[in-house]
Structure 1
Amino acid sequence: MTRSQSPSDPYARPQHPVRQASGDSHRSALVVALIGAAATIVAALIGLFVQLSGDMEQRASSPSLGGTPPASNASSAPAASAAPLGSVPPTTPAAPGASGGPDGTPTAAPTPTAATPVGLPEEFLGRWQGYAEEADATRTDHYRVTVELDRGTLREQVGSVHYAMESSDCYGTVTLTTVDGTDQVTLGENIQSGNCVTNGRITLTLRPGDTVDSAYETIKRDGTRQSVKAGLERVA
């Protein structure tokens, strides 16, 4: 048995499908596009943040040469121009005690020069002769004194001495002990023969006219001081 269909209402209005406005469809498509673009931008920002974070961690963990921290912004600092290889000559270390020149280059230390030995002045070379006067409490003696001097330096034997006395002739050598300029020298006397005090000191002072003043000093055997003065002339 079939169900019977109800008769149609002759007075009912015909039903038409609802049509969507074209403006609404365009707005929907724009919203979807904007959402997609926003999602793309967010994803790009997240990826950039992750990359920057990784770079910063890598810079912080990598060691720096010479203890210098890495530059915070490498792109802002101008690149230093490297000097070509071989354009700067190697620096030679300065020798100990050497001083630097005006341009900073080391200069060689001065070579020490040997000191010139002090010698008997030329003015005293030759044979000197004269008469000495020796006075003590009891008598005054006069005798001839001869001094011959040759070249030599300090503490070297530079000549001889001779005292021609009535009681004895004394012969000895003289050694240069001091030089005071070119006009005064001191000689150490060492008598080797004759009845004279063995050791004494002679001071010769140069005077005009090829003459010298001779001053002799010693300590005699009895402990008293002996002083003898003489004027000597150059005879050879």
Structure 2
Amino acid sequence: MALNVLVQTDILASFGQSVGIGKEADVYEGQTPKDEVVAIKIHRLGRTSFRQTKRLRTYTADKHHLSWLYASRLAAEKEYEALETLYPLKVAVPKPYGQNRHIVVMSNIVGDDLFTIKELPRADKIFDTILKNIEQSYQKAQIIHGDLSEFNIIINPKLKPLIIDWPQWVSAAHPNALFYLERDVTNICNFFEKKYGILSNPQFLVKKITKN
């Protein structure tokens, strides 16, 4: 039904092959009426382990008796909200095209997952760019990814990072905002130090991000 609505509203024209299957979403290739290739992300949050998922996700923590489909719809709505806010601010996120129920349509994601790349030219520059995007998201939109790591950063063929998977974002006004921001920054710092020997101070970087 959600796909039909996206077709009827001229967001999608065709539905293609699977390009990725994760624990909480499946991604397919699609095409718009203007022949643009897009990614179709179908959230299926916690379908196989719903109780555990509800414990881990802040946006379902205060909801009771949720079905996996309703929780997936909340995840899709939340992710689309983040993309709609961040993309115009030139934060490195996919371009949002549309959303209905538990499906989000976004620009095609081209590149490799950061954690899979064996050799990364200009790793220090990419590290700085990722941190700059965290800072822009926080300072311009008061949005914190909330689950950022090497597993949801794509490096495109031009060595530009793209930050994906935003359904768990939190506002800078969230009571635990600093915890989530520190965790995001620390995850990135730890990865680049361990794999590329780039030393940094997560606490200093968080202070820099939140200084305004």
Interval containing the TM-score (normalised by the shorter chain): under 0.3
TM norm structure 1: 0.19
Higher strand share: 1
Task: Point out which structure has higher relative CO (alpha carbons under 8 A, 6+ apart).
Answer: 2
Report the structure number with the largest CA radius of gyration: 1
